[in-house]
Chains A and B, each alone.
Chain A
Amino acid sequence: MLGELLLQYLVAGLTYGTIYAVVGMGFNIIYNATGIINFAQGEFVMLGGMTAVSLHQVLPLPLAILGAVAVTMAIGALIEMAFIRWLAAPSVLRMIIITIGVSIVVREAALLVWGQQVRALPYFTGNEVTSISMGGARVSPQVLWAVGTTALMVALVTAFFRWASWGRQMRACASNRVAASLCGLPTRNLVTLAFVLSAGMGALAGCVVSPITYTQYGIGTGLAIKGFTVAILGGLGNSLASVAAGLVFGILESFSVSVLPTAYKDVVTIAVLLAILFVRPSGLFGAREASRP
């Protein structure tokens, strides 16, 4: 009985963990390309989920999700072009404040468009009560969708960075911007691409978990803090480590609820963030911040 309960927590943790993993990875992609931490990262997840819910009223589910990802990617590109592209060597403080401003404006715009209502996409297969028995725990097929989609997405993005020409150009740009631009790479466009990629990933993750975790205009900030925690946990700049850290973190958080009141869930996770920052800012997986892939 206890084993089943633990398994149940594990599955719940994995579900949330996938979002944190994706947000953490999104942080890393933009950080690698620009050295900026995009505080509006969580907003992409929210936009993806909300847009998909709206589009689903007129379109079938797969098309609605595709459309939502495309719209969010376009918004990611717009944000980069409007606020970041034309600044010459801005300081970190300035970039922090600008991206915080962007996150507020996006959130308030979402509030204006969608209101305060909590929304969710329908379950991809079955409904709320459909479940598959796995080793004694009841698992919603949506969890499998979320974990599967995320795994696929991470694999594709990793492959993109390794083998695709654009992916390799982005890595070159990340390791040395000036040298990359001297080699004739369009560094500015690569930064835009980083925003597009990271917005698209966030949006897709926002869609697949939406039936389970629900979507509301204000979920971005919390996700950003947790995604950042995960990115730090894995070592800033190390995308794959942040995915692992995301899953671990989601599971930790899920188990913390069994010990402490739910209201303090965020307190626990943020305390973990602070502890990591204080003790080992280079991340648990040992990647040094300077050694960016």
Chain B
Amino acid sequence: MRSARWFQVALFMAAAVAVELAAVYAGKAFLLTQLTMSAYYTLVVIGLSLLMGYAGQISIGHAGFFAIGGYAAAALTTWDLSGRRGGWLVSALGAAGALVSRPDLYGGTVLVVRPWVAFGVAVLLALVIAFAVGIPVLRLKGHYLAMATLGIGTIVYSIALGTGALGAADGISGVPPFPLLGGLQVGGAASIRVANYYIAFGLLALGMLLLLNLVNSRVGRALRAIHGAEEAASAMGVDTARFKLQTFVLSAVLAAVAGVFLTHFNGGVGPSEASIMKSVKYVAIVAVGGMGSLWGTLTTSLVLNFLSLRGYFGTFDDAVFGLILIAVMLFAPSGILALSFRRSLEPVLGRLRTAPKPATREGEAGDPDSMPYRLEEKPSEDGR
């Protein structure tokens, strides 16, 4: 089955290559920019899909983790440390080779942290925050969990918006490109547009491979058990708290990685990346793609994000996502791909697809107290 997963990812990359060739051939290479951005947002979304669809935990604060990554990378690679050359921290960083001098926009030179180091710090920061926040938060259920994660997202947003050192409402701009191996760099210049497209889709494919392997492992089975019935899973000896926490941290780290890359690609980051609406969009996309269907989520995310970034929804962008959320949750709570269209393709898909079946049972685990609506089944109308 492992080879089938590789095959799926290879197929996905082949599709990505085809799209790239088609765009360039059609003389619309500029579309690759939005596709690249869309791929980074999709990295956030598939992480969230793991959390929501497999572990059954909602997070309305993932834009916060994206912003933590983006802001950490942007701040570290733009704050000029040359004024503090004498300080012990700057000296130590310099001695360790963590700093780099580069010319700034105005012809002077600035001393900043190397992008690789900033990347590491950003991911570490997201990891630590996700751990610290996740331990208490994931004990909560249902509404409490939703509100708590919403609250965390709002805190990140307020801090980004209210802190002068982070550029307040303007955010941080002038973020340098991020040199990867072999002369490749993550940046927004038109000359490296195609390379960046492949960097983004390569990263997305890696993330996807990681998640596919994860959900088909012991961890994935444990997560599905938690989603199905948390008490039962716990009674069977699954350490539910640990698995939920690990999933939360993993999805937060994926969001932060996406944040770092997209910030270098865009050359900046702003507080809107941390806004609640962004978090809600991610949730909306997971809902549309089908909770528990990683490929479904990936596809819908690439399409919806691309359309949104190209401005197809105009000023109705937020409203469109709101309507999508309502419509999907009302009529197809397990995702649009789970509608009859999917069932008709089942014989074909069944052979290709090795990803586990999406949870057919809608809903989430929870204790009876936190979900009275669920337990008090539809009252019988006969009694009237």
Contacts and interface: CB of A to CB of B under 8 A. Distances in A.
A273 B373 contact: no
Interface in B70-114: none
A91 B321 contact: no
Contact of B364 (A91, A186, A221, A232): A91
Interface in A80-124: 83, 87-98, 100-105, 107-109
B272 interface: no
Given A92-B143, A108-B318, A181-B379, A274 B148 contact: yes
A97 B364 CA distance: 13
A184 B383 CA distance: 6
A177 B379 contact: yes
Nearest to A38: B143
B384 A181 contact: yes
A92 to B, nearest CB: 4
A225 B152 contact: no
A98 to B, nearest CB: 5
Given A91-B364, A96-B58, A97-B287, A264 B322 contact: no
Contacts of A186: 384
Interface in B361-384: 362-364, 366, 369-374, 376-381, 383-384
Interface string B286-324: 010000000000000000000000000000101101111
Given A100-B60, A184-B384, A290-B369, A267 B155 contact: yes
Interface stretch (A1-9, A29-37, A55-63): A29-37
B41 to A, nearest CB: 18
Contact of B330 (A83, A91, A184, A290): A83
A251 to B, nearest CB: 20
Contacts of A94: 329, 333, 362-363
Interface string B127-162: 000000000110111111011101110110011011
Nearest to B56: A93
A68 B50 CA distance: 44
Interface stretch (B18-26, B171-179, B276-284): B276-284
Nearest to B316: A108
Interface string B49-65: 00010001010100000
B326 interface: yes
A89 B371 CA distance: 10
Interface in A144-188: 176-178, 180-184, 186-187
Contact of A98 (B154, B162, B326): B326
A289 interface: yes
A263 interface: yes
B325 interface: yes
B322 A91 contact: no
Contacts of B384: 181, 184, 186
Given A93-B142, A178-B379, A267-B159, A98 B374 contact: no
Nearest to B376: A177
Given A89-B378, A177-B379, A101 B142 contact: no
B275 to A, nearest CB: 10
A282 B369 CA distance: 11
Nearest to B379: A181
A270 interface: yes
B363 A91 contact: yes
B376 A270 contact: no
A278 B152 CA distance: 13
B140 to A, nearest CB: 6
A67 interface: no
Given A97-B329, A101-B326, A104-B280, A263 B155 contact: no
11 contacts: A39-B146, A90-B373, A91-B363, A91-B364, A93-B56, A101-B326, A184-B384, A187-B379, A225-B150, A270-B158, A281-B140
Given A35-B374, A97-B287, A100-B60, 9 more contacts: A88-B378, A92-B366, A95-B373, A97-B58, A97-B329, A104-B280, A271-B155, A274-B137, A274-B148
